[in-house]
Chain A
């Protein structure tokens, strides 16, 4: 599959303007990924398409699927109802089941200006990917023997399997990115002399900060970054039986869990604040605790004495004082609370900083970071750009990828002598908070987590801890998404008779009368169930266009056209819900049933099927029409009620014009795995019988 072309039929970017509210997940994502869209595609079982959407916004989705810190989940509005959508796990599902591994990316070289990328962490790799895709020859220069930067030497294997990283790097090689490992760049001038026209510095932040206490030079004291690097490069440092880790960030947790996997019996993390101030990912922390890591809060070492090959650590208890610049409360030592503990080694993981060679000649700012213009990533040297941890200090993989992507487009601007285009202003607004009365009406659905290896098993090696979802779990999890911002809008305010039907039928109490007497349907509260659209007597309400779907009537016309062309007779038309497993396994079985003349009109929730659609289906000559919805499983409210109302209305018409009302049926499936084909077969039989009897009747009359 070639994904360089972004104009996939059905999947589009230009239609983004149809959704006038940005969901909070997308807003929180440094890469601004279209999360709502791919989660929706997963919920329909359309994994390949979900992966396409993911790949459009992310050069290395498989890496993010393992290590992203998912700020999207932090801002997910579902958290206001119960728990956020497990977005990262869903991405991992899409990446693995959608066959990301098999995707090869092509890139053509269009320009001759060479670009050098110093460092091969996520920012460097992303920049190389995009610069190459735009069409420049790219060389990555890496000091270590393998590419990946922190992905390789920082993140432990149990969090990111190296095959995943290798696959992504192979993809870059395949695209024609030149790679030079074991090449430490000492001078940028030399690179310019070698003919590179633009340089992107992304050397990361590998220099560990020091505690600055007495005895820190003693043997047995190692810094976190070095420790992880050694382990990741295959060296097995001997740590002894008891290890102390000082720090409270992700590196501290990684170091502790890595130590456990190296066979250390007692690993204790000493953190000077409390759990609520801890910058580490709560889930990682939880997993560390499961693996037997002990954590001592409000304690820090103040002095190290080496006695009999052991470290005698003098520690002090802390209490929290006034908030500091970071907004967290400053730890203050408690006088006279010193205590000593013995350890075999100490891993210091209290933070890292970049270490930029002074020969680079770039301006360095606070915390040894490279100073850049945040919107262009340019440094004080012409043609030299910088990004990633080297600029921001230690940050996340996703932020680095975003920096790499930004750098690529800025480098392109620079090489094409274009004034950098300002970020396109959109009139898109962010969807706001859900109102309490909306929240109250949204059904609580438990978040399902993918399985993890059991604590005792996983500490024996560096196997990936978190497993991937199965189909059913992934789809059910994706169905919890509230689809923020794709709600309805009153398109024809002049048609609106202010009859208040929408206000009365909405299961979520969303429409409201404003004080000028007009109906208002706030898009950030709307759950896009579609009931009001179908019930509006003035046809004044429309749903914002579904992601990549036609509206039901267009879908109906299209499907019928296809069916007529293939002269399928006698047709049975079924409106089938696309959400859930029903949209995949079952639907494919129904499609197989299409030999018997069953034509499926795919719909995103049967609540959107109007009485008129059912009549239109009959009008095309269908002998039978059915609606197959997911009943109890529907994540929206009142769906079945409204389907039944409309079916009864249509049956009344059928009866009055001499069509047997049994020709219109509703199938409500109890479970996702239930096989509806049996019910459908019965329906087909029934229809054939009706057909036979009507033929006999006609013959009798003639």
Chain B
């Protein structure tokens, strides 16, 4: 899941300042799960902004709220056209993908990001989320006992541990487990310690052509499909 954190109220207020009529748009998938932009957060932000308006006394803003199932698919955005008739700006509480999907779908209305999209991760406990994947495009979890050294090691090294490991913790942060100690222990349990003895060549940092695209269908030449 994509994990994000809501931007501070100050920043959001600064962003919306030029736009009197704001639609706060939630996302019912990842942003709901990571508590950054689901219906409940949309409504809380709505209330907070209104209260801020009342207190500041300028009161030029009006707010509406809406939550779609998923912002990153245009089909879910079809309902937006009617919601945006009297709207000057959309404050999206979707992740960065959601914000862009809306911008692409509704060409004439500015879209503002209400959250900082942070990482791909998982829930540790209610209210706590941890990063787990860097989307590097070269997954090596097979060799590392299912523990990703790129996200979980502070230095992201592929042949660890480094000399900074101490009592199973990282030298950079004593509260963080050393990823390579975790990898070692896991491989030991799986009786695959030989994988620790291998050398892994560095990742290719040079050129990841962006934006990346994945094709899971075959290109069919024109005319061929008609036959």
**Chain A positions near chain B (C-beta within 8 angstroms):** 494-495, 497, 499-501, 504-505, 535-539, 611-612, 615-616, 618-619, 621, 649, 653, 656-659
In the complex, the answer to whether A537 meets B41 with C-beta atoms within 8 Å is: yes
Smallest CB–CB gap between B29 and chain A, Å?
6
A-contact bits for B53-97, CB 8 A (1 contact / 0 none):
011100000000000010000000000000000000000000000
Pick the contact of A537 from B8, B38, B47, B56 — CB < 8 Å? B38
* B55 engages A612 (CB within 8 Å): no
Q: How many A-B residue pairs have CB under 8 A?
A: 71
Interface residues of B in 9-68 (CB under 8 A from A): 9-10, 28-29, 32-33, 35, 38-41, 43-44, 47-48, 50-52, 54-56
B167 within 8 A of A: no
Complex A-B, nearest 7 residue pairs according to Cβ-Cβ distance, in ascending order: A537-B38, A499-B33, A504-B126, A615-B47, A657-B52, A497-B32, A656-B9
Q: Which residues of A contact B32 (CB under 8 A)?
A: 497, 499, 537-538
Give the chain A neighbours of B52 by CB distance below 8 A: 656-657
User: Interface residues of B toward A: which range?
Assistant: 20 to 34
Q: List residues of chain A with CB within 8 A of the CB of B54.
A: 619, 621
- Out of B35, B40, B51, B56, which one reaches A619, CB within 8 Å? B51
Instruction: Choose among B35, B43, B55 the residue that contacts A659 (Cβ–Cβ < 8 A).
Output: B55
10 residue pairs of the A-B complex, CB under 8 angstroms, read: A495-B39, A497-B29, A500-B123, A505-B126, A538-B39, A539-B38, A539-B40, A619-B54, A649-B44, A653-B51
CB-CB nearest in chain A for B29: A497
Given A612-B44, A615-B51, A658-B56, output 14 extra A-B contacts at Cβ < 8 Å.
A497-B38, A499-B33, A501-B35, A504-B125, A536-B40, A538-B28, A539-B39, A612-B43, A615-B44, A615-B48, A619-B51, A653-B9, A653-B48, A658-B55
A537 CA / B41 CA spacing, docked (Å): 7
Are A537 and B9 in contact, with the CB atoms below 8 A? no
Residues of A near B126 (CB, < 8 A) are: 501, 504-505, 535
Instruction: List the A residue with the shortest CB-CB distance to B37.
Output: A537
Docked CA distance A657–B38 (Å): 22
A536, B9: Cα distance in complex, Å: 21
A612 CB contacts on chain B under 8 angstroms: 40, 43-44, 47
Task: List, in ascending order, chain B residues with CB within 8 A of A616's CB.
Answer: 47
Complex: A494 Cα to B28 Cα, angstroms: 10
Q: What residues of chain A lie closer than 8 Å to B29, measured between beta carbons? A: 497
- Taking CB atoms, residues of chain A closer than 8 Å to B69 are 494
Chain A residues lying within 8 Å of B39, measured Cβ to Cβ, are: 495, 537-539
Take A495-B28, A537-B33, A539-B39 as given contacts and tell me if A657 and B55 are in contact as well, using a CB distance cutoff of 8 Å.
Answer: yes
The answer to whether A537 and B51 touch across the interface, beta carbons within 8 angstroms, is: no
Q: Could you say which residues of chain B place their CB within 8 Å of the CB of A618?
A: 51
**How far apart are the CA atoms of A209 and B52 in the complex, in Å?**
82
Please give, as numbers and ranges, the residues of chain B lying within 8 Å of A537 by CB-CB distance: 32-33, 35, 38-41
Chain B nearest Cβ from A521, distance in angstroms: 16
Residues of chain A within 8 A (CB-CB) of B56 are 657-658
- Would you give the shortest CB distance from A234 to chain B, in whole angstroms? 69
Q: Return chain B residues, CB-CB under 8 Å to A621.
A: 54
Cα A44 to Cα B120 in complex, Å, equals: 47
Q: With A and B bound together, what is the CA distance between A539 and B46 in angstroms? A: 15
CA distance A616 to B41 in the complex (A): 14
Residues of A within 8 Å of B125, CB to CB, are 504
Q: Is the CB of A538 within 8 A of B40?
A: yes
CB distance from A311 to the nearest CB of B (A): 75
- Least Cβ distance of A662 to chain B in Å? 16
Most A-side CB within 10 Å, residue of B50, B54, B126: B126
Report the Cα distance A621→B50, complex, angstroms.
Answer: 12
Q: CA A92 – CA B7 in complex, angstroms? A: 57
> Is B44 a contact partner of A611 (Cβ separation < 8 A)?
yes
Across the interface, do A619 and B38 meet the contact criterion of CB distance under 8 Å? no
Nearest CB in chain B to that of A537: its residue? B38
